[in-house]
Amino acid sequence: MSKKRGAPAPKLSIDKQRAAERDLNEAVDNAKRLKAKSRDAKQKVKQAKKAAKEAAKAARAARKAAEKARRAYKKIVEGAAKERKKASKKREAIATPKRTTPSRNEPRSARRRERDAERPRGGIWDVGEEPVEVAESPELDSDVPVAEG
């Protein structure tokens, strides 16, 4: 005859039941944690996409501005070349700002030198000393002055 198995001891079934509940609770907690991580990751991806889109938009605007500046510069350079060409044909002097400093290569004008000669500059003054008179001594050569004092 075959033996029938009876129900397991009640103590063992309670332990298994508690272990199964613990495993289930851990699995639920893990699922919640993973779901929150997934949500955070999705938000980060969304923010990264938004930032990339804004960066692309800014780069496009910068390229357009650079191209616009290049075109404007090219137009100005061409216009200046035309003006120079016209001026050289007419033999007109090209307008340049007036010099504020004298040229180093050319000597100062005579008029300036005359004005400087009329108005002598002040020299160094010795304060508190009397001028020393120089007399010639007959003993020495006549061209060597002697200071007395």
pLDDT over 90 at 21, yes or no:
yes
CA 72 to chain centroid: 24
pLDDT digits (tens, 9 = 90+) for 30-70: 999 999 999 999 999 999 999 999 999 999 999 999 999 99
% of the chain exceeding 90 in pLDDT: 43
User: Tell me, what's the pLDDT at 85?
Assistant: 87
Q: List beta partners, residue 135.
A: 146
pLDDT over 70 at 109, yes or no:
no
User: What does the alpha-carbon distance between residue 26 and residue 54 come to, in Å, rounded to a whole number?
Assistant: 42
Please indicate whether residue 42 or residue 146 has the higher confidence score (pLDDT): 42
- Across the chain, what does the average pLDDT equal? 79
User: What does the alpha-carbon distance between residue 109 and residue 102 come to, in Å, rounded to a whole number?
Assistant: 10
Q: What angle do CA 40, 42, 48 make, to 5 degrees?
A: 105
pLDDT over 90 at 137, yes or no:
no
User: What does the alpha-carbon distance between residue 143 and residue 127 come to, in Å, rounded to a whole number?
Assistant: 30
Average pLDDT over residues 92-106: 73
pLDDT over 80 at 102, yes or no:
no
pLDDT over 70 at 120, yes or no:
no
